[in-house]
Structures are given as C-alpha cells and as structure tokens.
Amino acid sequence: MKRLLLSAAAALALSAAAGAFALAHAAAAPAPAVAAPAADPTVTPRMGPWGFDVSGMDRKVAPGEDFVRYATGTYLDNLQIPADRTSWGSFNALAELSNTRTQAIIDRASADPAADGEARQIGGLYNSFMDEARLEALGARPLAADLARIRAATTREAQAGLMGRSQGAFGASLFGAYVWQDAKAPTQYAAYVSQGGLGLPNRDYYLDAKFAPQKAAYRTHVARVLTLAGWPDAQKAADAILALETRIAEASWTRVEQRDAEKTHNPRTLAELETMAPGFPWRAWAKAANLDRTERLVVGEPSAFTKIAAIHGQTPVSVIQAWQAFHTADQASPYLSRAFSDANFEFYGKVLSGQPEQRPRAKRGSSLVGGNLGEAVGKLYVAAYFPASSKAAMEGLVDDLLVAMKGRIDKLDWMSADTKARAQAKLATFTVKIGYPDKWRDYSALTIKADDLYGNMERINGFNWAYETAKLGQPVDRAEWGMFPQTVNAYYNPTLNEIVFPAAILQPPFFDPQADPAINYGGIGAVIGHEISHGFDDQGRKYDADGSLNDWWQADDSAQFDARKGRLGAMYGAFEPLEGFKLNGDLTMGENIGDLGGLLIALDAYHLSLDGKPAPIIDGFTGDQRFFLGFAQIWRAKYRDEALKQQVTTGPHSPAYFRAYGTVRNIDAWYDAFDIKDGDAMYVKPSERARIW
C-alpha cells in the first residue's frame, strides 16, 4: 500500500477510526442479557479448560503486586517474538489466523486460470507481486516515467502539481489530503488537508536527541534509495532532504495537538489558503489533486501550514525535486527489485522497528492483496468463516453493553441532569455494524494485470483517490465501512456515531462460544465497551447525537470531566516501558478512557447477564476474578525495543501491558475480587482513582 506522508489525524480518519482497537438502541430499564448460542458440550474452549489459559499464569506473583504477571507471566516468559515480527501476542496470533485464511482464499484465486471478476483481480495482483524474476529483470525501469516528471517539474507550480497528483500516485506532498464526513456537517463530505512531508514516523524523530541514531540511519537510507534510482549526487541530495524535513518537523504540530478535534477543524477556501499560507501554489496543487471543484478545504494545522508553505518557497527547486524523487522511489520500493525491497526493509523493518527478518514473500503478497482489494477478499472470507450464529451472538453482547452504559450514565454523581439527558440521547442513536458491510465495494473499473506490479499499484492508488474525491458533493454513505471483515480490530466513528466490529475479531481470546461467559465479557465485552466509550472520551464527547462537532456539555460538567481525565493522564504519564521513554498520557488519553470505560461497562453487562443469580466458582475463581483474568488475557504481548519506542512516541494506544495494568487499578471491583490492600504495589487510594464513566 502507498505509504502516505500524512498527519496522525489524517491516518486516523483514513482508517475510519477515531477510536480503533448502534442499531439505534434505547432502553427504559436494564434487560436480561441476550443469550449466546448454547455451548456444544462435545467441543472444548480453544484456550484452557474454560476459555482462559491457566497454564500461562504466574501464581508466584500476587495479583496486587503485578496483576498482568499474575494472569499471564508464565506465558510472557515463554513467549518468543517470531523473527519476522516486531511484536507478538494475542492480537497478532488471531491476526495470523485471519491471514492464514485469507492466504488460502488468495492462493485459490491465483492458481485458477479460469478465474474472472474479483477472483481474477485477486489472483492477478498476487501473481504480479510473486513474479520475482520479472521484477529483477525490470530493476529500476518502472520508476522512469515518474522520475522524468520530477525532472521536468522546474517551477514551483509544477512541483505543487506533482504533490497534488501524488494523492493518487506514487510521490509525496508537503500537504496531504483525505475525504471524510464533515465534523461540523456530518451529512456532507469534506476535503481535509493536513501537514505532511516527513519520512520518519513523526517530528520527534528529527528533533529529539534520543532518535539521533535513527535520524542518521535515515540519511543513509535516503542516499541508498536515490542511488538505486539513479538520481545524481545522492549523498549531497540526502543531506539536503534531511535538512528540509528537519525544518518541516520544526514547523509541524505535535501528535497531541493533532488530537484536538476542534482546533484541527478550520475551513478555508483556496483564496483564504493563499492568504494564510503564501509561498505554496495552492491552485496548482488542488487542480492536480482533483480538489479544485470543492468550495472549501478543512485545514488541520493552520500555523504549520503557514510555516511549511514558506519553507517550500525558500527551498531550492533542485532540493524539492530530489525530495520528491526519494519519496517516489521509497514508496515504490516494495514493488520493485530485491535491491529496492531489501533497502526498504533494512530501514523501516530493522532500524525503525527492530525486526530481524523480513516476512516471507507469500505473506507480504497476501497482505498486499488484502489491503488493496480488501472487500473483494472480505466477501469470500465472510462466506467461508463467519456463520450467522456469530453475528447473532455479537448483536446480543452489544445490546448488553449498551444497556450497561445507559445505567452507568444514569448513576453518575458528577454530571448534571441536562448533560446526562444529552448523553443518553447520543447513546440511543448509536449505530452498530457487525461482521461485514451490507453493500460491497465495486472493483470492476480497476484494471489489474498479472505482469505489471508497479502499474497495478499506480492504478490502485488512482482508483482509490478517484473513489474518495467522487464523494464530494454527494450525501454521506452511512453504509460504508472503514475496515475490512478480515481485520482483527474494531472502531468508533464519531461523525456517524457508529461502532463497528469486523468478523475476524470474533475469535478466541476475545470470543469463544464454548468459553465461560465471564471470559467473553472480559474479552469481546471489553472491546465492545471500549468502542462505546470512545463516543464519550476526551474527543468523542465533543460530538453530539447527530455526529456534529458541537459542545453539548454544561460548563461545570466539562470542568469535572477534564479534572477526572487529568487524573488518568497523570497515572499513564508515569509509566516508563523503556528507560527514557515514558508514556504520553495526553497522546493516549482517548484510548485509555476507552479501556477504562469499556471494562466497567463490560463488568456491569456481565453482572446483568447473571440475572440476579450468583456466578459459579470455577477452579477456585469467582466470576469477577475470571472476568478480569479474561481481560488480561487479551493484552498479553511482547514488543521489540525499537517497535516499543515507536509505539510510545507516535501511537495513540498505550502498549498492551499497560492497557491491562493501568485500567484495573482504577476499578473498585478489581480490588474487591482479588483482595487488593493498601501496601500492595498496584494499590491506588480510592480518592486518587480515575472515575469518569
């Protein structure tokens, strides 16, 4: 897939995930849980005797000393990260199952000479990637036409045109664009424009001395790619490119600043953009990007735009050309000869992520097809692996969690009646999507050739961008999905006020119909609750029941919320996964609120499912104990150090260990379940626990 030089905000929106991992619902009173399909007594749970891996526990560690170690310590001690991975754990293992299934689908399509329609496209794209002999014979030749365009772009206007064109082709832009629902008018689409231009993960990699080795390695990588592409004076060009991107980094907003939904929504006409950010030929850029017909663009980071536009006007044309040549070749590297693909892996895999070995080519090919023809593959995945019973079970669980959230809002002691009523109105309008879209995307206009990988990727990029820009001026399609069915994840989209759960996540350790219900509520229940809670996290709460960015809170309630989230942020900000790399409690705020609210909602739903009856004791564990153990089980994982550094620096999610460790410390029921006392390492005084939803 094309590696976009966009902001974190753009990346989140492009994945349709303001919070990634409501049939309209309103209930007057808590209702009994909708039962999942009855467990087959002849089939045992996939994990442990009752859905939990008891053998993975470390009972030498007390729950109050380190609950994550207690629940999963032996598993973590024995866990080896595969050589071709940057991390491994519950999510990865389940994703690998999904990948194995999609690989089988792709293998069948690629081996069938009579395949037609989408199966032919799937097989053609895969075969074009697997034809290594042809790629070796071609070498750098597929780049020739793109590099010729760059050499011919000798004016600022021509360079801006190339940047606009790169929205649907290989190449780079100082300003990236995407199409999304308008946060101020969610029934309409808007064109969003965001700061871009950086090749390293974010501005910190240029400006923080901790990343000096990575920055130096990046300079070497730039020179290597330019040399492979045949660009003159590659070493000198690499120095100039690094200096340019360092200036852009200095002008760029931080990831925390980019999280602010209100500050990043700044509508501007092209004329206003020209006044706000002179030095950049906006009309040439917009025309080439097919955005000149829209009346306005929503600017993400106004002050950064002003500075980056000035940088463009001050930078020699030859430097911009070299910068564009590097990023064009760099993005295309995975689809070229081994020399290019190896260079790409050596830097992005080994240096930035600590991955010792590249994934086998067949797996990379499968990922390529799944990421670019995702709904075509997803349609076949659902037919083979997602029975109606799974969807019915999920619908029942979601209903349980929505009822539980309604009850939690009613019981809040810090929120006024007016804000509570508006929160309930928002909850009642949640849309729920489960499994797969009702309407599949049509790929019939996309040309895929089995002997033209580079051309396939160019056409895919152009096809996708045309698909996006065609939405402008059209009513919002509420049936569209932002993830594929075979994706192990979930998301909340604030402008549509929807929670979405792809088919692939409904597997152990998240959900197993044979498992003890407490494990399922601690697993998939916490995931469902997490996405519901995103509608009420520090950014999601800013959107009203119609999905509009609109302040519906009483001022005193907002102040209370900010104080409570501040307590949570301070707790996470003290965690230090690696020396010198503390978590950023502000960057991870939304996901941490999602985890905390989600686990509380799931626990309430589990209690409702008991219908007033006591939970059974299983292997000496109470129902609540099993619930929290099930939650810890979904977060067992290990990271390579470089991958962990990148996660801490750039990611909105806390590392897996802290998603379990930090969350349970704020839940009174966890203290009661495991008899956690003052003096235990994980103990937090009741007055200091974060209490939000």
Query: Alpha-carbon distance 676 to 62, whole Å?
Result: 9
pLDDT of residue 45: 79
pLDDT of residue 19: 67
pLDDT of residue 478: 96
Element (H, E) at 618: none
Determine how β-strand 637-639 pairs with β-strand 498-502: unpaired
pLDDT of residue 15: 40
pLDDT of residue 43: 59
pLDDT of residue 21: 66
pLDDT of residue 46: 81
pLDDT of residue 25: 27
User: Within a 10 A sphere around the Cβ of 120, how many other Cβ atoms?
Assistant: 17
- Sequence ranges of the domains in the chain: 22-85+387-441+489-688, 142-359
What is the per-residue burial (b if ≥16 Cβ within 10 Å, else e) of 305-336? bbbbbbbbeebeeebbbbbbbbbbbbbbbbbb
Phi/psi class of residue 83: alpha, beta or left (left: φ > 0; alpha: ψ in -120 to 50)?
A: alpha
Q: Is the pTM of this model over 0.85?
A: yes
The CATH number of 142-359, from 3.90.550.10, 1.10.1380.10, 1.20.120.160, 3.30.565.10, is: 1.10.1380.10
Residues in the chain where the model's pLDDT stays below 50: 1-17, 22-42
Within 13 Å, how many C-alpha atoms sit on residue 122's CB side? 30
Element (H, E) at 655: none
Q: What is the pLDDT of residues 588-645, one digit of tens each?
A: 999 999 999 999 999 999 999 999 999 999 999 999 999 999 999 999 999 999 999 9
Across the strands, what pairs with 266?
299
- Check whether domain 22-85+387-441+489-688 has CATH 3.40.50.1370, yes or no: no
